Every structure is written in C-alpha cells, then in structure tokens.
C-alpha cells in the first residue's frame, strides 16, 4: 500500500541523510548542465529533465540519479576487462574472457592454470581503481555456468575444480 511505501522511503532518508543530499545535488547539477557524468567523465545527456512531460521528466530524474553509480560500474568493468585481457595475453595464460554481464566476467580457464588466473583476475579487477570503498571480487569456479561454486580466498584451501572440457 502507498502509505507504507511512503513511510518506508521517509525512514530510509532519515537513516541515510547523505543519500537525499546526493539525489538533490545530482538532480540540480543535471538540470543545470543537461547531463550527468560517470567517475571517468562519460556523459549521459538528459534533455527531458527540463521538459514539460511529467512522465518523461520523472524517468530522466531516475536515470540522472542512477547513471553516476551504474555508469561508473560499467566503466570499471570495461577497464578491468582491458587490463585482464592484456595480462592474460602478455603472460600467455590459457584463459579467455567469454562473457561480461553487468559486473561479472565469465572466463574459460584450463585447470592447470586456474590458481594463477584467479590471482591475476582478482588483482586486475580489484586494482582497476583507487576508491574510498575497496573493490572486492567474488570468485566462483565450475565446469559450466550453472554449476559455479564460490571460492573463499581467505581459507587458503587448494582448489579442486571439476574437469572442464572448455579449453582442454
């Protein structure tokens, strides 16, 4: 129901007042300049922000609020892919990037190189940018996308992946 949703939103902003100031500042800047930017300077133009259509304006406001965060995440994953590809090629590691979905990368890796590739993958993805909040990578392995199992890197256990036919 609408009253419950309104109450939830009110409590959310009371607990996190800096979120409200972020939203207001982002919208004010976007209205003034006609665009928002990612951390890397990529612009998304939003002419509807100052338009007469209430529905289009509301959608542009949502885009303006989300783009700096989601767009920066997209920039970071692309930069990480470039870095990772370069290191894999330079070191001639038997691995390849197969797919990127949002903030995930799917790689095919020969079992014999799994440990090394996981170290490279973690280092390149987590080191793609220096930020106040550290970037952390969750690694999973498996014989196919449907059978991935999380790897706890802090346990220091040996990996024993199932045999993969992908590159062998």
Considering 47, 67, 87, which residue would you say is the last residue of a domain?
A: 67
> 17-65: per-residue pLDDT in tens?
999 999 999 999 999 999 999 999 999 999 999 988 889 999 999 999 9
Any domain includes 136? yes
- The dihedrals phi and psi of 152, each to the nearest 5 degrees, come to -95, 105
CATH number at residue 95: 3.30.70.370
Say yes or no: 60 and 102 in one domain.
Answer: no
Mention every residue, 6+ apart, whose C-beta is less than 8 A from residue 67: 36, 38, 44
Q: Which tokens hold the place of 117?
A: 């590739």
Q: Domain range spanning residue 130?
A: 76-151
> 63-110: per-residue pLDDT in tens?
999 999 999 999 999 999 999 999 999 999 999 999 999 989 999 999
Any domain includes 93? yes
> 117-167: per-residue pLDDT in tens?
999 999 999 999 999 999 999 999 999 888 999 988 665 445 544 344 443
């Amino acid at each position: 129901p609408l009253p419950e949703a309104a109450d939830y939103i009110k409590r959310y902003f009371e607990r996190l007042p800096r979120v409200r100031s972020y939203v207001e500042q982002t919208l004010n800047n976007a209205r003034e300049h006609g665009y928002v930017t990612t951390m890397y300077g990529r612009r998304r133009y939003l002419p509807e922000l100052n338009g007469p259509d209430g529905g289009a304006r509301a959608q542009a406001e949502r885009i303006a609020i989300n783009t700096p965060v989601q767009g920066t995440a997209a920039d970071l994953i692309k930069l990480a892919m470039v870095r990772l590809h370069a290191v894999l090629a330079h070191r001639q590691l038997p691995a390849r990037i197969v797919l990127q979905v949002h903030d995930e990368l799917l790689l095919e890796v020969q079992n014999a190189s799994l440990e090394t590739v996981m170290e490279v993958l973690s280092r390149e993805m987590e080191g793609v940018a220096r930020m106040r909040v550290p970037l952390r990578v969750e690694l999973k392995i498996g014989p196919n996308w449907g059978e991935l199992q999380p790897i706890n890197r802090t346990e220091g256990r040996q990996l024993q992946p199932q045999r993969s036919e992908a590159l062998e």
